[in-house]
């Protein structure tokens, strides 16, 4: 069975602004005001610190124009920046089995299908989070971080080499080329059918800075109580 959902295809959004938008959408989903919602976007350079970030883990060159943000997600520090497609699924997990492990595996499956659609053969590696390109030295190509409150999840490693779609394929691949494949994979794995989130009525979401973009260029995604906000990222460029 396919459930209706909203998809918001946004451009480059500051991390804190996207965080506020996620919270607003998660509240609307939890109240049943909107269906499951997914955000696809990029961030300006930012390092987010998860709850397991260790002292001395972060090494940012002095003068680097990178924002540092402490978050409530699990995991350690993660870099986000231009050229990375970031996906924030805000899902009502009461509609998706109320199984956190299954939810994470489904996110991984959506990532694997997204990468396969652009020609990258990626996989899971037992005992490690995220999605990898296998080899003598495994190369991480996508990360997942999850935060769950009242069954509402919000998403986003182990030591290893990192890679990108462009590096694996040997030619440039833009974020905009990856977006439709990511949306299609999420629809298939989670049984969703995406529509644009209406920009004229926000179910209590407005006003927020991002909504000026929505009124100019509608997009879509959604959630509910017992819901999940998730983040998956795929690095498209080097």
- Residues marked active site are found at 155
Per-residue b/e over 126-162, b at no fewer than 16 CB within 10 Å? Answer: eeebbbbbeeeebbbbbbbbbbbbebbbbbbbeeeee
Half-sphere exposure (CA, 13 Å, Cβ side) for 41? 29
How many angstroms from the chain centroid is the CA of residue 118? Answer: 18
Dist. CA 42–CA 179, nearest whole Å? 11
Over the Cα atoms of the chain, what is R_g? 17
- In this structure, what token pair is assigned to residue 15? 């991390």
Residues in the chain: 238
Dist. CA 107–CA 124, nearest whole Å? 11
């Amino acid at each position: 069975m396919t459930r209706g959902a909203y998809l918001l295809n946004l451009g480059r959004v500051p991390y804190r602004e996207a965080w506020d938008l996620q919270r607003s959408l998660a509240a609307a989903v939890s109240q049943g005001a909107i269906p499951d919602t997914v955000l696809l976007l990029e961030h300006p350079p930012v390092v987010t610190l998860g709850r397991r970030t260790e002292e001395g883990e972060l090494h940012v060159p002095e003068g680097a124009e990178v924002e540092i943000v402490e978050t409530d997600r699990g995991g350690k520090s993660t870099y986000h920046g231009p050229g990375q497609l970031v996906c924030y699924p805000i899902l009502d997990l009461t509609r998706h089995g109320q199984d956190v492990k299954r939810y994470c595996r489904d996110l991984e499956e959506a990532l694997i299908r997204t990468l396969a659609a652009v020609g990258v053969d990626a996989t899971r590696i037992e005992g490690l989070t995220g999605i990898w390109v296998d080899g003598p030295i495994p190369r991480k190509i996508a990360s997942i971080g999850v935060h769950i409150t009242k069954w509402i999840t919000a998403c986003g490693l182990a030591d290893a080499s990192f890679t990108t779609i462009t590096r694996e394929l040997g030619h440039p691949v833009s974020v905009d080329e990856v977006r439709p494949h990511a949306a299609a994979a999420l629809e298939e794995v989670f049984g969703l059918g995406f529509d644009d989130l209406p920009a004229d009525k926000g179910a209590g979401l407005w006003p927020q800075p991002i909504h000026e973009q929505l009124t100019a260029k509608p997009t879509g995604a959604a959630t509910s109580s017992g819901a999940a906000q998730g983040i998956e990222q795929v690095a498209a460029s080097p």
